[in-house]
Structure 1
């Protein structure tokens, strides 16, 4: 099981903050709140490293300590939004401890940043996407796999990583990929292009005994599936950061969300209408568009996707 879900035991001090946070994480897992549990685990690991493994009592979580943690994060190049994310998680845990009367409220998070900065989203240019696709990773199998998942997402009109992970072989029939978005439940149908089929075939030996198309998940146990998914998502983003360094393109920022944004941007650059892009990506927030437009035909969808893929 991944380090994200490692249990932290044998704390020496009384009223241990680490123990309490770990208990809260375990409760989240038991309640099926896997995404929040991952957030707790990531934050706990970071704070644990800041403390160099030295435990502390809940009452020792002071304003001075939290400000010192914020400075420590900044010195290590952690961006403001990530630092703020850790602070908000720690604050939530601390407030739970206060409610349980494990400590008195000292408001230790008032002097640190807990907001959310707006970040400029940079889609990949066609040139950068070509460099990524053609990058020689023949001796770096893990990075090649991460690149294949990235490109598969782009090829499939920005299929979300969660939908790629849960994509089953039964979803592919008669030259089409048909699936329902996990986020919205909306049904999407994508024409199976050769570039998609090549990636699927490349990993077919890894999935021959599995129902899944891609070797991201390996279990039918609901809890294990969730744990595997969030570990795979985190690992994918780590590998993409390594690819960033190899490409050495200024301002390049690769994450699992970027293929979706890139497909939309390149589609727009190639003259695909906003309504087609919205329909093709399964957006449900384009309410005004949907009032005036009926569902677009599969032929239009496939033509739009073929046009985007041909541009690279």
Structure 2
């Protein structure tokens, strides 16, 4: 609540709607939210990816989950705005669009694995996903989360699975197979303004992001191919520590 209040105040100041002699939050520090452990093992992800549920609603949950993953961990609110008639995706995360750091544009080539899923549900007139439901966004995300929980239970997955797990898992897998942090940030739509001097002089290009996503997809399709590399990289990181 305090974080939202601060955002509203800052937006009012920026638009010259309000003025303070002393900023209301000058002596108030908002603590960082704890990192949620919502990524899942590759084996669990593949159980979801390769599942063939009979119910339409469970197939929708599976496909939305996989689409988020294949598009670099895109959030659901942004995924629903993608025009899948186009071969490329360009967007600014809705979450940060109206903030001071909301200038991070993510550009990606839509991979074949995502295009194949989108074709099942795409509205031919708008290019947007259309499941025949008329939910508000808040109700839809809760509905999809319940469905993913049910799907995971049916598949014998013990880990907690929510829609956000696709984003967290994408980032985790990318890190495990050695994708540079800057490229992962780009795929996720994170701002890079606080990442050090080098990041001010360099920028990630779309081609790098496309290659990173292709590599992560190859990893989940062929995890054994990367097993030795991941183990070796873990050993090296431990030696550095």
Structure 1 residue 288: Cα displacement: 3.3
Matched, 1:302 2:210: yes
Match of 2:50 among 126, 130, 134: 134
Match of 1:264 among 149, 171, 178: 171
CA gap 1:290/1:165 in 2 versus in 1, 3 angstroms:
farther
**Alignment-derived partner of residue 200 in structure 1:** 118
Q: 1:1-312 residue pairs with structure 2 within 5 A?
A: 118=34, 120-137=36-53, 139-169=54-84, 173=86, 175-185=87-97, 186-204=104-122, 207-209=123-125, 211-215=126-130, 228-250=136-158, 252-284=159-191, 286-289=192-195, 291-293=197-199, 294-312=202-220
Aligned partner of residue 194 in structure 2, secondary structure: helix
Q: Do the aligned partners of 1:165 and 1:216 also contact (CA within 8 Å) in 2?
A: no
Q: Which runs of 5+ in 1 are unaligned?
A: 1-116, 220-226
Query: Which fold has the larger relative contact order, with Cα–Cα distance below 8 Å and residues 6 or more apart in sequence?
Result: 2
Give the Cα–Cα distance (whole angstroms) in 2 for the partners of residues 192 and 127 of structure 1. Answer: 24
CA gap 1:126/1:132 in 2 versus in 1, 3 angstroms:
same
CA gap 1:158/1:290 in 2 versus in 1, 3 angstroms:
farther
* TM-score computed with the length of structure 2 as normaliser: 0.68
Q: How many residues end up aligned between the 2 structures?
A: 181
Aligned Cα RMSD in Å? 2.4
Structure 1 residue 249: Cα displacement: 2.1
Aligned partner of residue 129 in structure 1, secondary structure: helix
Q: Which runs of 5+ in 2 are unaligned?
A: 1-32, 98-103, 221-241
Give the Cα–Cα distance (whole angstroms) in 2 for the partners of residues 151 and 136 of structure 1. Answer: 13
CA gap 1:127/1:187 in 2 versus in 1, 3 angstroms:
same
Q: Do the aligned partners of 2:89 and 2:108 also contact (CA within 8 Å) in 1?
A: yes
Q: Do the aligned partners of 1:216 and 1:232 also contact (CA within 8 Å) in 2?
A: no
Larger radius of gyration: 1
